[in-house]
Structure 1
């Protein structure tokens, strides 16, 4: 029988960013740094040394580890990520609602919800932790970095699952708006269903044969020239569902750099004038704590 790995409360965030953790299995490593160098080959020993000297690597009791710290199997360590200085994403989020349990935020285009890849400080979660001083914030759900609109966060860890389960159980009504080419022959409104799976292309989903796992209700709001404003209501919550479904119908969302054609990541050369014309417009659900009907609406409007 294997030994149980010790657990502990996660250390407090620093500058709004929580630490990552790694379990220490039985093994031959004489020191923690030897294990880390082998576990993360892309990070050189010199960088781990610098992190330890800054106090960015902690043991299971919150004690700072050094390059000389011995390896202790069946425990856990925490470490803080290190990234170059991030250029500020030049758009601001707006807090629409806050109580003791949840926060509703209007997210701008281009801002990721949570840290990933090259984004750390310039994420909605970290910005909110720093501006509101609430270290326990966690997203109830997520939307794409390129998508603007409503994102909900929970505050209390003990009630977090109650709110997140609303999304898992499809007890939340969501409405999006999108700008895309106009097709008079679609006969809207329609409900489009397909099976979406990860494709071989990085970040992209594709439609495959089999039982549908993605369902989107699509209706027309208004037409302006060759473009139209659509109302999209996702019944399911597959990755990139709305973008993939609109592209499959021959009306890809304006400025979509993934569907139908995948373009290279612009990186630091991001063109902020070409935002994806997709907006998470409304969210509605019955609050599991108060029993009240919660209705939130984005203040943003997509332009043609």
Structure 2
């Protein structure tokens, strides 16, 4: 059991006038209205330390705290290998199954918490994320300089992605497994990615004409009778970009429980427990294989490679 957690929300002008029950059941649809009512009645939702009633009318600017009691978290691999380390930055091999940040039932079984345990005096800070089911290279900032420089370079890479001549200070390349495909040996994917409504989750990121520009460049590494091994270099860093782009092209990742052809969420098929697929679910094969960047202090080129799992290695020699 963990120690529980306090989740805070600030009421926006558009939400003013809603009841406490309406606010939580509308915004956080992962739980039913009945479950939220029980939480409110048990005193878990408070304003300035005072428990609120389900029908309490909210005002703009009010701060609400949801005091979630301790809970048993899902299992996750908590270890990670350090691939590179100096005083400014660290690169690790994140295992598939380990979330980077709290969410979806995970609090202490996260990379962020494990970093705080391993480096209590000055924990490295992730400067980008990998999905829970994605393995491979992650870069962490150890000094203020590195965190500032790396974050700026990532933003600049995304902002200038549509210009093929623009500088690419940070280059991230992944391996992924899709089904049998007729993709050309080299291909580019540019489907915009944005938030779309989801009946159970409120929203998810998916292919959307109104979304933000997104750019991925791909190579076919190996074709098999029932699968294709591809290498994808992303020029932007949209959420779930590779999963969405390949699905939008007609080739979802093998085993992806969320995204189907078209880059949209699959129709909901609740499990026996009533649970629906969420972005953090696993089953697909995606690995951050190589990351190159200039060192934030010396500007010398730095290339970090994390060997791919067997299923994402080419058998062609």
TM-score norm. by structure 1 comes to 0.69
Give yes or no for contact 1:278–1:302 (8 Å, CA) kept in 2.
no
Q: Which runs of 5+ in 2 are unaligned?
A: 12-19, 26-35, 52-60, 158-168, 261-265, 313-317
Structure 1: stretches of 5+ with no match in the other structure: 1-14, 25-35, 50-58, 60-64, 68-73
Bigger radius of gyration, 1 or 2?
1
1-side partners of 2:91 and 2:67: how far apart? 27
Which of residues 284, 291, 300 is equivalent to 1:276?
284
Q: Between 137-146 and 82-91, report the one with greater CA deviation.
A: 82-91
Q: Please list the CA deviations of residues 179-210 of structure 1 after superposition, one character each: whole Å capped at 9, or x if unmatched.
A: 11122x33220112122221112453333336
1:101-140 equivalences in 2 (<5 Å) = 101-140=88-127
CA distance in 2, matches of 1:81, 1:254: 35
Determine which of 173, 176, 179 is the counterpart of 1:178. 176
CA distance in 2 between partners of 1:165 and 1:17 (Å): 34
Instruction: Show the counterpart of 1:199.
Output: 196
- Residues 82, 100 of structure 1: CA spacing in aligned structure 2 closer, same or farther, 3 A cutoff? farther
Q: Is the 8 A contact 2:290 2:303 kept in 1?
A: yes
- The correspondence for 2:154, drawn from 164, 167, 172, is 167
1:296 matched residue in structure 2: 304
Equivalent residue for 2:224? 224
Counterpart-to-counterpart distance in 1, 2:110 and 2:91: 15
Count of residues in Structure 1 that have an aligned counterpart in Structure 2: 258
Q: What's the Cα RMSD here?
A: 4.0
TM-score w.r.t. the length of structure 2 is 0.66
Distance 1:231 1:23, change over 3 A: closer
Q: Cα distance 1:85–1:186, how it changes in 2: closer, same or farther (>3 A)?
A: closer
* Distance of aligned partners of 1:232 and 1:84 in 2 relative to their CA distance in 1, 3 Å threshold: same
> Which stretch has the larger CA shift, 235-244 or 205-214?
205-214
The 3 A distance-change label for structure 1 pair 159 and 231 is closer
Which residue does the alignment assign to 1:89? Answer: 76
Counterpart position of 1:286:
294
Alignment CA distance shift 1:265-1:287 (3 Å)? farther
Q: Is the contact made by 1:176 and 1:279 (CA closer than 8 Å) also made in structure 2? A: yes
Secondary structure of the corresponding residue to residue 186 of structure 1? coil
Q: Are the structure 2 counterparts of residues 40 and 169 from structure 1 closer, same or farther at C-alpha, using a change threshold of 3 Å?
A: same
**Aligned match of 1:6:** none
Q: What is the distance in 2 between the residues matched to 1:163 and 1:77? A: 34
1:7-86 to 2 correspondences below 5 Å: 44=40, 82-86=69-73
Determine the C-alpha separation between the residues in 1 that align with 2:135 and 2:7: 27
> Does the alignment pair 1:215 with 2:223?
no
Q: How much has 1:98 moved relative to structure 2?
A: 1.8
Q: Give secondary structure in 2 for the equivalent of 1:168.
A: helix
In 2, the alpha carbon distance for the partners of 1:229 and 1:167 equals 26
Contact residue 9 and residue 64 of structure 2 kept, 8 A: yes
Is the 1:193–1:212 contact (alpha carbons within 8 Å) kept by the matching residues of 2?
no
